């Protein structure tokens, strides 16, 4: 299993790393939230740029990215525009989506970009290639806020992300029953043990799926999301409590 190193953080080694989203709508809100991270157990900061009011002004985005990078110090930045079709705040054309992610990757202010794998293979591979050419890692992602597919389909999607060249495949699914959580965990275990040659991230959302955010080290998910102030997805728990549980599990394994 290869690991992924971003700044001083190695994803895929030791306990699952903690990623905390920043969901401010204005530059002031974004920087204010970032200023609190030094006192929190944050391994990676995710800038959910789809929440940002000025997201369609690339110059404004890059100016904010620069200031965010400075405010976070050594904490790596994950740049994410979550599209409305996958639970995000805004719609965006595939062309705009590609341009924005490539501009972020070129800027030198972000360490990773999130690319939704069902944007289209050609666009996805072009963003991945561009990011890698600029020394930026890529999380390929898929989110389903309605249901959890069968185990084989979950594994197929994660393998597709790996085939397309993403550094870290990620999937987040909504459980409709408790068994769906088990399906997600079973798929995670199968992927990590049989197919993955790099870290993967999986989670079952909402209250029913909280256990999946805590047991990554047991089943094979390398990073989990916790909330500092405002959650960016259903089921995220506070970052302090999250670290406590992850540490307990890590020490017992």
143 is catalytic: yes
For residues 71 and 38, the answer to whether their CB atoms sit within 8 Å is no
Strand 9-11 with 201-204, pairing: unpaired
Cα atoms in the 13 Å half-sphere on the side-chain side of 2: 11
Q: Of 17, 137, 143, 151, which one is the catalytic site residue? A: 143
Strand 17-22 with 9-11, pairing: unpaired
Q: Of 102, 130, 151, 170, which one is the catalytic site residue? A: 170
Distance CA 108, CA 85 (A): 28
Q: Which of 235, 230, 253, 126 is nearest to 172 (CA)?
A: 235
Distance CA 32, CA 30 (A): 5
* DSSP letters spanning 55-101: TT-HHHHHHHHHHHHHHHTTS-EEEE--BGGGT-SB---HHHHHHHH
Q: Cα-atom radius of gyration of the chain, to the nearest Å? A: 17
Adjacent-strand bridge partners of 200: 221
Secondary structure E strands in 145-212? 168-173, 201-204
170 is catalytic: yes
Report the catalytic residues: 143, 170
């Amino acid at each position: 299993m290869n690991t992924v190193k971003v700044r001083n953080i190695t994803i895929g080694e030791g306990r699952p790393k903690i990623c905390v989203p920043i969901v401010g709508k204005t530059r002031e809100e974004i920087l204010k939230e970032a200023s609190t991270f030094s006192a929190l157990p944050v391994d990676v900061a995710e800038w959910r740029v789809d929440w940002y009011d000025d997201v369609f002004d690339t110059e404004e985005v890059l100016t904010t990215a620069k200031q965010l990078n400075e405010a976070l110090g050594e904490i790596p930045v994950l740049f994410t525009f979550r599209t409305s079709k996958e639970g995000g705040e805004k719609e965006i054309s595939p062309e705009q989506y590609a341009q924005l992610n490539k501009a972020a990757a070129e800027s030198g202010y972000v360490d990773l970009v999130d690319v939704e794998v069902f944007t289209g293979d050609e666009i996805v591979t072009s963003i991945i290639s561009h990011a890698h050419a600029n020394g930026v890692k890529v999380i390929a992602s898929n989110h389903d806020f309605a249901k959890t597919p069968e185990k084989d389909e979950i594994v197929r999607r994660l393998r597709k992300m790996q085939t397309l060249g993403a550094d870290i495949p990620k999937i987040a699914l909504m459980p409709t029953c408790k068994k769906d959580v088990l399906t997600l965990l079973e798929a995670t275990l199968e992927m990590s043990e049989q197919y993955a040659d790099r870290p993967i991230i999986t989670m079952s959302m909402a209250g029913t799926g909280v256990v999946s955010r805590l047991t990554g080290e047991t089943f094979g998910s390398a990073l989990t999301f916790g909330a500092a102030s405002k959650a960016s997805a259903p089921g995220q728990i506070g970052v302090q409590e999250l670290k406590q549980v992850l540490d307990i599990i890590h020490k017992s394994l």
